[in-house]
Amino acid sequence: MKKIIFLLLTVHTLNIFSQKDTDILVTIDDEKVSVEDFKRIYERNLDAIDNEESKDVNKNLNLFINFKLKVKQAYELKLDTLTSYTNEIDTYRKQLIAPYIQDENQLKSLVKEAYDRTRTEISASHILVRLPRNYKPKDTLLPFSKITEARNRVIAGESFKQVAVELSEDPSAKKNGGDLGYFSAFNMLYDFEDVAYKTSLGDVSQIFKTRFGYHILQKTGSRTSKGERQVAHILISDTTSNGKKLIDEVHVKLKNGAIFKELALKYSNDSGSKRKGGVLPKFGYNRMVKPFESAAYSLDSVDQISMPFKTKYGWHIIKLIKKYPILPFEELKKEISQKVKNTGRVKLSSSSILKRLKNEYLINITQSVKESLQNNNFEDSLESIFLTINKKKITKGDFVAYRSKRSQTPLSTLLKNFINEEILAYYKENLVHTNKEFSSTLAEYQDGLLLFELMQQKIWNISSDSIALNTYFIAHKNSYETNDLESIKGKVMNDFQTTLDREWIQELRSKSIIKINKKVLKKVINYYRKES
């Protein structure tokens, strides 16, 4: 039943009418309901109605009034204060807001960009110079000087690898000279990925910053993506000569026709995969250790078996199960869109909205308060107004509370982030007042959820009670062809629910004053006659 209610309240695009729909169609006690309110629900339900009789405007208006009466009682019973209700509404509100804080055109561009990058893998080497935690502007001078020195040395002709070994603060650089291997979209931070893809092959990038610090990179390779692979493996975790001897024996058995699945179950030390014949989930580049990845991508045909090879986990033999090439854009669009929304890329989309809001809103920053914060004065004058957005006032204390949970972030960054987040928060808070579609959708979900809670109490819990159901059956036994309740329990329960609902509606209507504007109703009826 809950699913049915929410289906009726599913969001669709609102129709735009040539006539004004602000006229009051019905008044229920003190609540005035406009033509637009009725039309929105009525038209949404038309698609689910399969006969002309059920499309009758008068009939649907009565159903609409019944719905409003029930929701009215739910509010009177304060069901909107239930923790389960408030939690679900908060979750739904966040989901509903999400599209409103994204620039759709930029989002589409980011999705297409990510797809194009999944089709081409690139390799790069990098040098990292870290920034200290909770750094101040003056703390960036030495790291920036160091990364500048690194770049100048490379540009002057020194080996990128040698400079990385000497200067990079990425711990792995001592072993790999900064070489990151091949990667594509979503394998790296977006800021890093973006510079890597935009740098020409062989060139050294300009200095750029991520949350880890300052970087330079050199693009070392580019190739068409090989997609993903799925393999099965046998692992011998003994890395000594005894392990090598055993993996070689297993390999000989496979060459002589032994079944891979059976040998995996017998010999493999990977408890997670051995019972599945050694089969692992599919993976792409940078998801496995390099020797394993290289062996997997060196296999060309399904069921081909590798030579034994060693990783830090032990000795392996792998068998290629399936190749997964990059699918066409339309088939990957939904998956990539979700990845874009779950990563830093979506911040670029939100920044477009933020830029627009800064132009629309009257925003004022109290410079004296800002200066006291920049001077690390976090204890006095907490009630002082730091930021004003239109008529909303945000205090110095609000920022101090915000900072307390993010003390490792540089103060300058915190101030910028706090102001931006407050602007977006103000936009979200007022969306219900500034966007009619959002307001209507949220209100309908709230009403539907409240009605579900009330229906539980008034209808479903009662009708599912065995004693109450049996009492109803005995009282209406003449309406049924059998005395065996169990054999017709579904029908009896449905009839019981219908009776409970009818009696409930009669009670609600008897307690309310309902006035239908017949003149306006006639116009609505005529409107739909012309439409049909």
* 97, 426 Cβ separation under 8 angstroms: no
Asked if residue 376 belongs to a domain, the reply is no
Give the CA radius of gyration of the chain: 33
**Burial 93-105, CB ≥16 within 10 A → b, else e:** beebbeeebbbee
pLDDT in tens, 67-82: 999 999 999 999 999 9
Domain count, the chain: 3
pLDDT in tens, 399-413: 999 998 887 788 888
Residue with tokens 């009619």: 436
Determine the pLDDT at residue 352: 78
Last residue of a domain, one of 278, 295, 324: 324
Asked if residue 340 belongs to a domain, the reply is no
304-313 long-range contacts, CB within 8 A, separation 24+: 305/251, 305/254, 305/260, 307/251, 308/244, 308/247, 308/248, 308/250, 308/251, 310/239, 310/244, 313/235, 313/237, 313/289
The beta strands (E) that lie in 162-271 are given as 179-183, 208-210, 213-224, 228-236
CATH code for the domain of 200: 3.10.50.40
Task: Compute the distance between CA of residue 390 and CA of residue 422 in angstroms, rounded to an integer.
Answer: 12
Residues 6+ apart with CB under 8 A from 235: 268, 269, 270, 313, 314, 315, 316
Shared domain check, 148 and 71: no
Shared domain check, 127 and 219: yes
pLDDT in tens, 241-279: 999 999 999 999 999 999 999 999 999 999 999 999 999
Asked if residue 397 belongs to a domain, the reply is no
Shared domain check, 313 and 220: no
Last residue of a domain, one of 324, 340, 366: 324
Reduced to 3 states (helix: H, G, I; strand: E, B; else coil), residue 204 is strand
Bridge partners (DSSP) listed for residue 320: 231
pLDDT in tens, 47-59: 666 667 778 899 9
Give the residue-averaged pLDDT of 106-126: 93
Asked if residue 507 belongs to a domain, the reply is yes
Asked if residue 54 belongs to a domain, the reply is yes
pLDDT in tens, 381-405: 999 999 999 999 999 999 999 998 8
Shared domain check, 56 and 8: yes
Cβ atoms within 10 A of the Cβ of 72, count? Answer: 18
What type of residue is 51? N
Confidence of residue 19 (pLDDT cuts 50, 70, 90): very low
Asked if residue 184 belongs to a domain, the reply is yes
Shared domain check, 219 and 124: yes
Asked if residue 113 belongs to a domain, the reply is no
Shared domain check, 320 and 255: yes
Task: Compute the distance between CA of residue 290 and CA of residue 294 in angstroms, rounded to an integer.
Answer: 6
Shared domain check, 525 and 508: yes
Determine the pLDDT at residue 529: 84
Shared domain check, 126 and 65: no
Task: Compute the distance between CA of residue 33 and CA of residue 107 in angstroms, rounded to an integer.
Answer: 38
DSSP characters over 425-448: HHHHHHHHHH-HHHHHHHHHHHHH
Task: Compute the distance between CA of residue 241 and CA of residue 152 in angstroms, rounded to an integer.
Answer: 47
Last residue of a domain, one of 303, 324, 345: 324
- Measure the N-to-C terminal CA separation of the chain; round to a whole number of Å: 30
Determine the pLDDT at residue 5: 37
Domain span holding position 37:
2-76+464-531
Report the half-sphere exposure of 395 (CA within 13 A, side-chain side): 11
Task: Compute the distance between CA of residue 212 and CA of residue 165 in angstroms, rounded to an integer.
Answer: 18
pLDDT in tens, 125-141: 999 999 987 777 788 89
